[in-house]
Amino acid sequence: MGERVGFVGLGNMGRPMAQRLLERGYELAVCDVRPEAVEPFRGRARICGSAAEVARWAPVVFGSLPTPDAVRAVVAGPGGLAEAEGLDVYVDLSTAGSRTARAVAETLRARGAGMLDAPVSGGVSGAERGTLAVMVAGPPDLVARCRPYLETFGRVFVVGEEPGQAQIVKLANNLLSGAALALTSEVMVLGVKAGVDPARMLEAINAGTGRNSATADKFPRQVLPRRFQAGFKTALMYKDLSLCLAEAEAAGVPMWLGSAVHQFWRYVVARGGGDEDFSAVVRYVEEWAGVQVAGAAAAESV
C-alpha cells in the first residue's frame, strides 16, 4: 500500500489536488474547518478533526489555505501542526506571502520539522488535470524528498532554497494575471461598444501580440458564455495583489502600474464582489459602459 500523506484545506484547489494524491495510490488523511468539504473523501481517506491529528498520522502534510492567517492558524494555532510529534515536512501550497512562509518555516524548524514553500498556478482545471505550475523554494533535500508528490500536481519549478522565494514568484505571476484580466475587460468592452463581435476580436488578438491568459482562456471559456466558474474568488485575487504590493513596498520596488491594478480589484471588492468568481470582474466595466461581452467563443479558442 502507498505511503501516508496528509492534506489540510479541501477548497477549490485542495480538493482536486488531494484527489490526485489518492488516485496515485497514496494513503490520505484530510481535514477542513468546513464539514461539507471533507464529505467527498469519506470512505476513501482518514477524516481528522485537526491539522495536528493529520500530522500525527502522516509524516508529510500539504496545506491549501485561503489566507496568511489561515496558514498561521493551521501551523501554530490550537490543534495546529506544531503540536504534533512525528511531522517531517509541511508543504504549503497556499499563496500567503513571504513573511508568512518564513514565519511558518521558523515555527516548524523549532519543532524539528521542515517546510517547503510551494504555491501553485493554473486554476482549478489545472489542479484537476495535474498540469499546475508548482513553484518551490526550500532546502534541496526536502525538495528531492517531496518532488514525487509535487509532480502529482503538475510541473515543478525550483526557484530558490529559502522559503518565501516561491511566494514572490507566485505573487508576481498573479499580478500579471490580475492585470491581464482587468485590462482585457476594458478593451473587450471597448470593442463591443464599437460593434465588434467579441469572439472575432479574441481570435484576432490571440493571433496577435496582445494574447494573454485572459484573451486565451478566461474570456473564451468563462466570460463569453457568461459562465463565470473559473473557481478563484475575487477576494483571493485581491488578497494576492495586496500581498504583492506589500512585498514591493518592503523591498523598495516601484509599483506604478501594479497599484492601478490593485485599485481596480479593490473597487470590485468594495462594491461587494469579493465572493464572486474573478472572471466576473468584466461586469463592473460593462456596467459603466452599458454593454455586455457575450457570445459563442470560436471553437479553436476553447
Residue 66 or residue 220: which is nearer to ligand NAD going by CB?
66
Is residue 121 at the binding interface for ligand NAD, with CB under 6 A as the rule? yes
Question: Do 4 and 26 touch, CB atoms closer than 8 A?
Answer: yes
Is residue 11 at the binding interface for ligand NAD, with CB under 6 A as the rule? yes
Q: Which residues of 9-28 are buried (b: 16+ CB within 10 A; e: fewer)?
A: bbbbbbbbbbbbbbeeebbb
Shortest gap between Cβ of 192 and ligand NAD (angstroms)?
26
Shortest gap between Cβ of 240 and ligand NAD (angstroms)?
6
Shortest gap between Cβ of 241 and ligand NAD (angstroms)?
11
Is residue 12 at the binding interface for ligand NAD, with CB under 6 A as the rule? yes
Residue 123 or residue 191: which is nearer to ligand NAD going by CB?
123
Output the CA torsion sign for 185, 273, 153, 121.
positive
Q: Of 66-74, 191-199, 243-251, 284-292, which part binds ligand NAD (CB under 6 A)?
A: 66-74
Is residue 294 at the binding interface for ligand NAD, with CB under 6 A as the rule? no
Q: Of 28-36, 53-61, 161-169, 261-269, which part binds ligand NAD (CB under 6 A)?
A: 28-36
Distances (CA, A) of 250 to 71, 244, 254: 21, 10, 10
Site size toward ligand NAD (CB under 6 A) is: 28
Residue 47 or residue 74: which is nearer to ligand NAD going by CB?
74
Is residue 13 at the binding interface for ligand NAD, with CB under 6 A as the rule? yes
Binding letters toward ligand NAD, positions 237-276, x by CB under 6 A: ---x------------------------------------
CA distance 30 to 54: 6
CA distance 288 to 264: 13
CA distance 128 to 124: 6
Query: Cβ-closest residue to ligand NAD?
Result: 11
CA distance 110 to 237: 32
Contacts of 234 (CB under 8 A, 6+ apart): 265, 268, 269, 273, 274, 275, 276, 277, 278, 280, 281
Active site residues: 170
Shortest gap between Cβ of 55 and ligand NAD (angstroms)?
12
Nearest CA among 148, 146, 178, 177 for reference residue 163: 146
Cell, residue 199:
469572439
CA distance 299 to 302: 6
Shortest gap between Cβ of 200 and ligand NAD (angstroms)?
28
Q: Of 41-49, 193-201, 228-236, 291-299, which part binds ligand NAD (CB under 6 A)?
A: 228-236
- The residues of the shown chain that bind ligand NAD, judged by CB under 6 A, are 8-14, 31-34, 37, 64-66, 70, 73-74, 94-95, 120-121, 123-124, 231-232, 236, 240
